[in-house]
Amino acid sequence: MEPNQVAPRGSHPFERVREHLLVSLHLGRLRPGDRVPSVRRFAVMSGLNRKTVHRAYRALALEGFLAVRPGAGTFVATSPGPHPSARREDELLHVVNRCRAEAHALGVSPTGFADFVQNALNGGLKGLPIAIVECNLEQTDMIGRDVRAGLHAETRPVLLEALLADPAAALSGVWGVVTTDCHRADVERAAQAVGIPVYRVALDPEFPRRILRVAKARDVVLCVHDPRFGIVFRRFLGQLGATAEILARVHVTSAKLLRTTLREAGDDPLVLVLPLAERDAAGRTPAGSGPVLAHWRLAEGTVDRLRAAISFDIARRRQGHA
């Protein structure tokens, strides 16, 4: 089976042969076991010297990517991979070139691919200004903590009301916006007006599920800095199937009202304090209450997907400006 096109001119002849075959494999035009074009045929198709094509085929055979069958031709190896005798640096180059060829098939230039790797895997997003937009400070804080820890980005908390009132001022100087699905439509409309991309993250559902399990047997008091968080959180619990009886045992309160809430709660409540309220809540619980600092984190894999999405967009933008 012959591919429909060859790699673009301008790259090193050997790499043109390699990328041509790897892209064809990635797109399904070639499969393991398929016969590749003969040296003569490939030379005609690509305009390369036959000796160059022959050397490239021989090198790819040594890497284990191609299999030469005397009298039958050259084929894509059934299990392509580096030859056992190849040096580790050759094996690594083989992997990089294959990834680069697959990126090329996705429309990403070699420069864009290098940018993506730098940003996604080598700390290239450090210091990148990102706005975290939610309707309350509690969520902007918890999302911002994980984004800073995972991307080493510079996060800016932005309340939804401020964004909607003046998108240009709220998003001045930031690369992109991070938010949850709860307000994504509103955030996207505002961000689109100033040409800034929006990225979705998801909070780990296990945190509210644990609270629901506890609330079946005892009251839970959640101390927060921004009381607006309580509206969002109780709605989240309802979406998880919390009954009215269980919701009545979940109390979301500020540090200022914490002692009053504890008196109204049932015996031996579980007291949880979110990070923003930790300082304000100090010394406000009765002896023996044992408040617990609680962290609601992003769902598993969310930060990795965010890193990949931002890195891809940065590479694509730079590629477009190249």
Check which CATH number belongs to the domain holding 19 and give it: 1.10.10.10
**How confident is the model at residue 141, as a pLDDT?**
96
Among residues 73, 107, 141, the one where a domain terminates is 107
Among residues 107, 137, 153, the one where a domain terminates is 107
The pTM for the full model equals 0.69
Q: How far apart are CA 75 and CA 60, in angstroms?
A: 11
Q: Are residues 18 and 89 in the same domain?
A: yes
Q: How far apart are CA 73 and CA 37, in angstroms?
A: 9
> Is the residue at 114 inside a domain?
no
Q: Are residues 146 and 96 in the same domain?
A: no
> Is the residue at 118 inside a domain?
no
Q: How far apart are CA 168 and CA 166, in angstroms?
A: 6
> Which tokens sit at 34?
């398929």
**How confident is the model at residue 18, as a pLDDT?**
74
**How confident is the model at residue 164, as a pLDDT?**
97
Q: How far apart are CA 38 and CA 57, in angstroms?
A: 10
Q: Are 100 and 113 in contact (CB under 8 A)?
A: yes
**How confident is the model at residue 287, as a pLDDT?**
61
Q: How far apart are CA 12 and CA 5, in angstroms?
A: 17
**How confident is the model at residue 14, as a pLDDT?**
67
Question: Number of folded domains in the chain?
Answer: 3
Query: Comparing 61 with 234, which gets the higher pLDDT?
Result: 234
Q: Are residues 19 and 86 in the same domain?
A: yes
What is the average pLDDT across 184-195? 95
> Is the residue at 86 inside a domain?
yes
Q: How far apart are CA 154 and CA 144, in angstroms?
A: 9
> Is the residue at 87 inside a domain?
yes
At residue 179, the 3 state secondary structure works out as strand
Question: Over 70: is that where the pLDDT of 60 sits?
Answer: yes
Q: Which of 175, 192, 199 is nearest to 317 (CA)?
A: 175
> Which tokens sit at 131?
């706005």
**How confident is the model at residue 108, as a pLDDT?**
78
At residue 315, the 3 state secondary structure works out as helix
- Domain with 270, as residue range(s), is 206-293
> Is the residue at 97 inside a domain?
yes
| Cα distances (angstroms) measured from residue 261 to each of 236, 242, 254 | 21, 21, 9
Q: Are residues 183 and 311 in the same domain?
A: yes
Q: Are residues 171 and 305 in the same domain?
A: yes
> Which tokens sit at 125?
């997003």
Q: Are residues 86 and 141 in the same domain?
A: no
Mean pLDDT across the chain, nearest whole number?
Answer: 84
Question: Over 70: is that where the pLDDT of 288 sits?
Answer: no
pLDDT > 90 fraction of the chain, expressed in percent and rounded = 49
Q: Are residues 152 and 228 in the same domain?
A: no
Lowest-confidence range among 108-117, 162-171, 201-210, 237-246? 108-117
Question: Over 60: is that where the pLDDT of 258 sits?
Answer: yes
**How confident is the model at residue 88, as a pLDDT?**
64
- Return the residue matching tokens 């269980």: 246
> Is the residue at 155 inside a domain?
yes
Task: Provide the residue count of the chain.
Answer: 322
> Is the residue at 123 inside a domain?
no
- Sheet strands (E) in the chain: 66-69, 73-76, 129-134, 154-159, 176-179, 198-200, 220-224, 250-254, 270-273, 292-293
Q: Are residues 102 and 25 in the same domain?
A: yes
What is the average pLDDT across 121-147? 94
Q: Are residues 72 and 25 in the same domain?
A: yes
Q: Are 180 and 200 in contact (CB under 8 A)?
A: yes
Q: Are residues 179 and 229 in the same domain?
A: no
Q: Are 145 and 118 in contact (CB under 8 A)?
A: no
Task: Provide the pairing of β-strand 250-254 with 176-179.
Answer: unpaired
Q: How far apart are CA 64 and CA 149, in angstroms?
A: 40
Question: Over 70: is that where the pLDDT of 202 sits?
Answer: yes
Q: Are residues 179 and 317 in the same domain?
A: yes
> Is the residue at 226 inside a domain?
yes
Q: How far apart are CA 9 and CA 93, in angstroms?
A: 21
For the sheet with 270-273, list strands across it.
Answer: 250-254, 220-224, 270-273, 292-293
Q: Which of 25, 4, 29, 7 is nearest to 16 (CA)?
A: 7
Q: Are residues 100 and 178 in the same domain?
A: no
The CATH number linked to 182 is 3.40.50
